Structure 1
Amino acid sequence: MLAPPPPRYFAHRGGGTLAPENTLAGIRLAARLGYRAVEFDVMLSGSGTPVLIHDETLERTTNGSGAVATTDDAALFALDAGGEPPPRFAQAVRLCGEFGLLANVEVKPASGFERQTAQRVAAEVRADWLASPLLFSSFSRTALQVLQAEIPDLPRAWLLAALPDDWRAEARRLGVVALHLDLALVTPALVRECAGLGLAVRAYTLQTPALADYLFGIGVAGVFVDPLDRFLPQALADRSAIG
């Protein structure tokens, strides 16, 4: 029996723009709406715990201040990130497992913590093979190298906001299965070239369903979306196609 195709619509940062980003509430909302995949960001607290947060500082998404990398767990988990504390990585992945969601884990290290962040994420995955399908991505080549060495059987994607001259050789060296690209980079010719190299292309971050239709038409494998309600008919149709 053929494996079902992976979801094409990923709820960006958990709940897109409909819930506080990188929260369990956002993941629950995406699942309740009918999405089959979510994306969220992971970096290390000052205690070395992988947690869901996008920025290196706390001000924008919590009621705290200062750097995430210097805030210990006792202080971090006392903060309000939109009705709840910032979640631990393990909590988020287990919740995705409960809902049957594919979790795209963006390893997003604070500056200077690329290796440590990927190592800690890999260690938590190895500890109990957390109960959800996992796809890892990162802008950091170092983080991708660590994930390749530590958990080689799990798929990885390289996040890019610009195409470096050596992207083909680096994608091969890093062993990634996909490129997650800024919309501005995605062209029919590039998608065709990636397909020839065995690389899927996913695009971030979409605001309109018409653009998703165009991208799928040129062979893009998936899209990261913010206004989840605006894409809901397409996401539900995608869910039905997957079964």
Structure 2
Amino acid sequence: MSSSWSFPRLIAHRGGGRLAPENTLAGMRCAVEHGYRAVEFDVKLSADDHPYLLHDDDLDRTTDGHGPARPKTWAELARLDAGSWLSARFAGELLPDLATIAAYCREQGLWANVEIKPCPGREEETGALVSAAVATLWAGGEEKVLLSSFSETALAAAQQAAPQLARGMLFEVLPPDWAAIAARLGCASVHVDGERLNAEQATAIRSSGYRLLVYTVNNTTAAERLFEWGVDGVFTDALPELAALG
């Protein structure tokens, strides 16, 4: 899969980075307005198994809802304001489902990194159902979508449910057995925290045949150094600052 890699090297983190509410349609539009051709976002399952966008396990930080997201149905989640927390400008921006964002990405020709973000205890089913939904929503456009997760269980379930989709394993700190994990999960890419990656690790990952993506890089100097190391792409919240590196 890595030989056919075509992802742009700049990826807008959670859609709009700092400029728009994360994991919303407004965020994806913001990425497009700043010239980005790739976006990253987080997907969970509602209590009734509907895939939707949210990073946290709780609703409080980025919506006007409260408490854990896990017990909420999609009908309950779909009513939440996911924009007011950032500014009044985004008041009324709704929590979106995966289908809405997929339609926008395909309409705009955006590459998409779909991070599978299970609620606690739902790793396997989230990996399976989100990847199956992605396979349907991006049918015929698989080269423009990448599944990733910090959860090996979720990514293994995705591998079983939609083996044709490219996968990336996320690490905070690169473990000694990273290559065995990536091989077992049939990964195309390895994703690492940019502040915890060194040049030797970057070389090892790339020389092993994996694409290397780094998060979350908000400094032009840091991004330039990473590209010198052979990094294939960076996730950023600093959309205007890094745009020229695309």
Note whether the superposition's TM-score is higher than 0.5: yes
Question: What is the DSSP-based 3-state SS (H/G/I as helix, E as strand, rest coil) of the residue aligned with 1:194?
Answer: helix
Pick which of 159-168 and 16-25 moved more: 159-168
- How far apart in 2 are the matches of 1:3 and 1:204? 22
Identical-pair percentage = 44
Matched, 1:115 2:124: yes
Q: TM-score, normalised by structure 2?
A: 0.90
Deviation, structure 1 residue 127: 3.5
Give how far 1:5 is off. 4.1
**Long gaps (5+) in structure 1:** 239-243
TM-score normalized by the length of structure 1: 0.91
Output the CA distance in 1 between the equivalents of 2:5 and 2:199: 25
Kept in 1: contact 2:132–2:158 (CA 8 A) = no
Aligned-pair distance for 1:207? 1.3
Unaligned runs of 5+ in 2: 84-91
Select 2:97's aligned residue among 59, 81, 88. Answer: 88
Structure 2 vs 1, CA of residues 49 and 31 (structure 1 numbering), >3 Å: closer, same or farther? same
What per-residue deviation string (whole Å, max 9, x for no partner) do you get for residues 143-197 of structure 1? 1111111111211100000222321211111111111101133111111111221
Question: What CA RMSD, in Å, does the superposition of the two structures yield over aligned residues?
Answer: 1.6
Residues 151 and 25 of structure 1: is their aligned pair in 2 closer, same or farther, counting only changes over 3 Å?
Answer: same
Q: Per the alignment, in what secondary structure is the counterpart of residue 69 of structure 1?
A: coil
Equivalent residue number for residue 182 of structure 1: 193
Q: 1-side partners of 2:7 and 2:79: how far apart?
A: 36
1:43 correspondence with 2:35: no
Matches within 5 A, 1:131-210: 133-210=144-221
Which stretch shifts more, 57-66 or 146-155?
146-155
Task: Give the distance between the partners of 1:130 and 1:53, measured in 2 at CA.
Answer: 23
1:93 and 1:131 in contact (8 A); partners too? no
CA-to-aligned-CA distance 1:32-87 (integer Å, 9 cap, x gap): 21101000000111221111000001000000102111011221111100132211
Residue pair 2:25, 2:101 contacting (<8 A) in 1 also: yes
